[in-house]
Structure 1
């Protein structure tokens, strides 16, 4: 008996979209994530990935400088998916560990940290990309 295994595309071009720097862009970013994961047969990651991209977009909306952001979804390797948001601010985000009283804002990177295998910031001369990676075994 012959078994055919369908390959899962990796690498470029990936998926990306430039969006307005506004809270409503999180919904468009979630759709982009769902589209990419469906194309790669990774639907089991959708729920956590949507939360990650929502938090990354929210941070960019709050802290970026210009009127647009860029959402990027790639597969750097067969075993990893990367979700990123690019903006023109060079300020590096940090993960809050204080309770900050009753304030429910400012804890997005705690969620990103909990839901991804690793996350970080790539700094560029003109801005940065904040990203999170999830394993897709």
Structure 2
């Protein structure tokens, strides 16, 4: 996992080249870098980030990257996760991994107040969500 951060511009980027998703490391890193956030918002951010990263590992192929961006007006945080599977689009409430799975995007949908989606290119896709700061 390679970290790159520009806290002044509020752009945080994580190269997810590891074989296993580094979810605990991502949570620890976010807590350090974004320590100025209210605790409940930080917990929501960690949950959304780990859900989107876990989905990229479970349902898509490499390369993968996580970005967290603070809007210029400081009213929202945007989480973006890229992966190398542009044709594998997320489906809320369903998982090919079994009936006991598929609830992660429901949580993302709720925490982001339905402000999430995907962008697909020819070689990759980005799944994004925005968390309001107020």
What TM-score do the two structures reach when normalised by structure 2?
0.77
The superposition leaves residues 64-98 of structure 1 with CA deviations (integer Å, 9 ceiling, x where unpaired) of 122x4111100133201011211111121111279
Distance 1:31 1:125, change over 3 A: farther
- Is 1:79 the counterpart of 2:81 in the alignment? no
| Deviation of the 1:13 alpha carbon | 5.8
**1:34 aligned to which of 31, 35, 44:** 31
2:34 alignment partner, SS class: helix
Structure 1: gaps of 5 or more residues: 1-8
Structure 2: gaps of 5 or more residues: 1-6
| Deviation of the 1:104 alpha carbon | 2.4
Answer 1 or 2: higher relative contact order, Cα 8 Å, separation at least 6.
1
| Deviation of the 1:21 alpha carbon | 5.2
- Is 1:43 the counterpart of 2:38 in the alignment? yes
Deviation larger for 117-126 or 85-94: 117-126
Deviation larger for 119-128 or 27-36: 27-36
Q: CA RMSD in A?
A: 2.5
Equivalent pairs counted in the alignment come to 123
CA–CA separation in structure 1 for the residues paired with 2:91 and 2:18: 20
CA–CA separation in structure 1 for the residues paired with 2:119 and 2:18: 19
Name the larger-Rg structure: 1
2:26 alignment partner, SS class: helix
2:100 alignment partner, SS class: coil
- Is 1:92 the counterpart of 2:89 in the alignment? yes
The superposition leaves residues 30-68 of structure 1 with CA deviations (integer Å, 9 ceiling, x where unpaired) of 233323422xx21331111111111101110111122x4
Structure 1 match to 2:133: 136
What TM-score do the two structures reach when normalised by structure 1?
0.76
